[in-house]
Amino acid sequence: MRRIAVPLLTLFIGLCTWSSEASAFCGFYVGKADTKLFNKASEVAIARHDNKTVITMANDFKGDVKEFAMVVPVPTVLEKEQIHVGDPAVLKHLADYSAPRLVEYFDENPCRRYDMLQDRMGAMKSMAPAAAEAKRERDQVLGVTVEAQYLVGEYDILILSAKESAGLETWLTDNGYRIPAGASSVLHSYLKQNLKFFVAKVNLGEQAKLGLTHLRPLQIAFESPKFMLPIRLGTVNADGAQELFIYFLTKQGRVETTNYRTVRLPDAQEIPLYVKDKFGDFYRDLFTQQVKRESERGVFMEYAWDMNWCDPCAANPLSAEELRGLGVFWQDNVGGPQRGRSMPMAQSVFLTRLHVRYDAAHFPEDLMFQETSDRSNFQARYILRHPWTGTDECPAATAYRQQLRDRYEREAQTLATLTGWNIGEIRKTMNIAALPVGDENKWYQRLWKN
């Protein structure tokens, strides 16, 4: 029996000058938080402009592909040309480019220049062929119409419409789809809203012929004023909360949810150096803390940036070809920016990355979006600041060493607040107690020091 593995994931639905030499950002990029950190994570890329939408649905299905099936509500009956199989590498590139990042600074010798932050630029890197007569009759009795049937890449695709949800549910069960209990009322609601159902499963013969061992992302293109992702089927019978990463590629500006709070994650915080080796754990716990802070009802912005550049770059910006592969149809300049040129071609693509942890209790309604005219940049960026460890002696160096312990304490507290980790453990790991104690006299004691 086939299983609905990605129970409907998903669906419908200041400008900066750049030069290859200059950068306003200090610090080296040292690490990023991978989407694989999170269990049960789905990834969706949505390219949208003027009601024209291309959705790329990533597939990280791990089990037997015979078990795989996907049911997605869509606003229109899709033609074969509106369905496409994408390149997983491009989606991976998009995820890497927009991932939360860790950067590091190195303090300079305070004796040389007390104002020690040196600007360093982040380097710019770069189903069945013919249905039997009896089956058709059965379909008619159930009120389910197979509007279209296609073979696209390794996928068998069906577009279904139905008169009522019970018939659709029976049809899906009859045809080997395991529908979670409770899905019926959600199917009913979607049918009343005149949605069609896009059903995909893997054609094993085609998959073998193509020599693929993994499932590639499915893409659909359609035109609809609805700018939303139907998450309700995914919450039916779900075992705990699910993670969803949504990447929006738009022309005008940032995308946000209109029916849930879109919240920026805390950014540009200085954290202890030892986090470098456990940035994944750090980010996962930080995210969980933020989810709690928003009473589990928030949608979080991890990245919002003009696709032309990045600073620092967790990965190179996507090329025009890659963007086209993700559905960016409004760029005339197919050639894209030339690497090494001092001024890139205007790409007119703005990327918004949202991360949501959802369940039925806190996200009763599908996610609704709007594109805003906001082009201000945002990135979830965390900072490691290495102390100067030289042995020079001068008044500035003495003062510098004395404030280090306070600085470490601040970093420890920031880390505890952001992640909920135990402050005592953090201090122990940082070995703050072993640091030389600064001048702990009060200001008035120093004033009238004997």
Partner 1 sequence: MGLDQLKTQLSSLDPRLYQIASLSTLLLYGLIWLYFDISVTQIAVTIGTALLTQYAGTRYYNLSAFDPKSPLISALSLCLLLRTDHLAVAALASFIAIGSKFVIRWKNKHVFNPTNLALVVMIGSGLGWISPGQWGQVAWFGFLIACLGSLVVTRAARADVTLAFLSFYVGLLFARAAWLGDPLTIPLHQIESGALLIFAFFMISDPKTTPDSRTGRIIYALLVTLAALYVQFGLFHPNGPLWGLIACAPLVPVIDYLFQDVRYSWSSPSNGSPPVYTLCPAACSLPLSQPRRFL
**Residues at the site binding partner 1, with contacts judged by CB under 8 A:** 14, 185, 188-189, 192-193, 224-227, 252, 256-264, 294-295, 297, 364-365, 368, 370, 372-376
Q: Which is nearer to partner 1, 256 or 411 (CB)?
A: 256
Is 295 or 391 the residue whose CB approaches partner 1 more closely? 295
Query: For residues 262 and 419, which CB has a smaller minimum distance to partner 1 in the complex?
Result: 262
| Identity of the residue, 69 or 179, whose beta carbon is nearer to partner 1 in the bound complex | 179
Which tokens go with 261?
Answer: 């709070």
Q: Which is nearer to partner 1, 186 or 323 (CB)?
A: 186
At its nearest, how many Å lie between partner 1 and the CB of residue 175?
23
Phi, psi for residue 196 in degrees, rounded to 5: -100, 170
C-beta of 91 vs 241, nearer to partner 1:
241
Residue 247: both structure tokens together: 């990447």
Alpha carbons 257 and 85: distance in angstroms, whole number: 27
Q: How many CB atoms lie within 10 A of CB 51?
A: 11
Q: Residue 384: what are its φ and ψ, rounded to 5°?
A: -105, 135
Residue 69 β-bridge partners: 4, 201
Provide, rounded to whole angstroms, the least separation between the CB of residue 364 and partner 1.
4
Question: The tokens of 242 are what?
Answer: 């699910």
Q: Between 76 and 189, name the residue whose CB sits nearer to partner 1.
A: 189
Report, in Å, the least distance between residue 287 CB and partner 1: 17
282/245 Cα distance (integer angstroms): 18
Residue 437 CB, nearest approach to partner 1 (Å): 36
Q: How far is the CB of 347 from partner 1 (least distance, A)?
A: 19
User: Going by DSSP bridges, is the β-strand pair 41-49/242-250 parallel, antiparallel, or unpaired?
Assistant: parallel
Structure tokens at 123: 């380097």
How many other CB atoms are there within 10 angstroms of residue 77's CB atom? 15
CB of 359 to partner 1, least distance (A): 12
Contacts of residue 207, defined as CB under 8 A and 6 or more positions apart, other chains included, come to 65, 154
Q: How far is the CB of 369 from partner 1 (least distance, A)?
A: 9
Nearer to partner 1, 76 or 149 (CB): 76
Report CA-CA distances (Å) from 95 to 25, 35, 160, 368: 21, 7, 32, 22
Do residues 368 and 227 touch, judged by C-beta distance below 8 A? Answer: yes
Cis peptide before 312 (omega within 30 of 0): yes
Least separation in angstroms between residue 173's CB and partner 1 is: 19
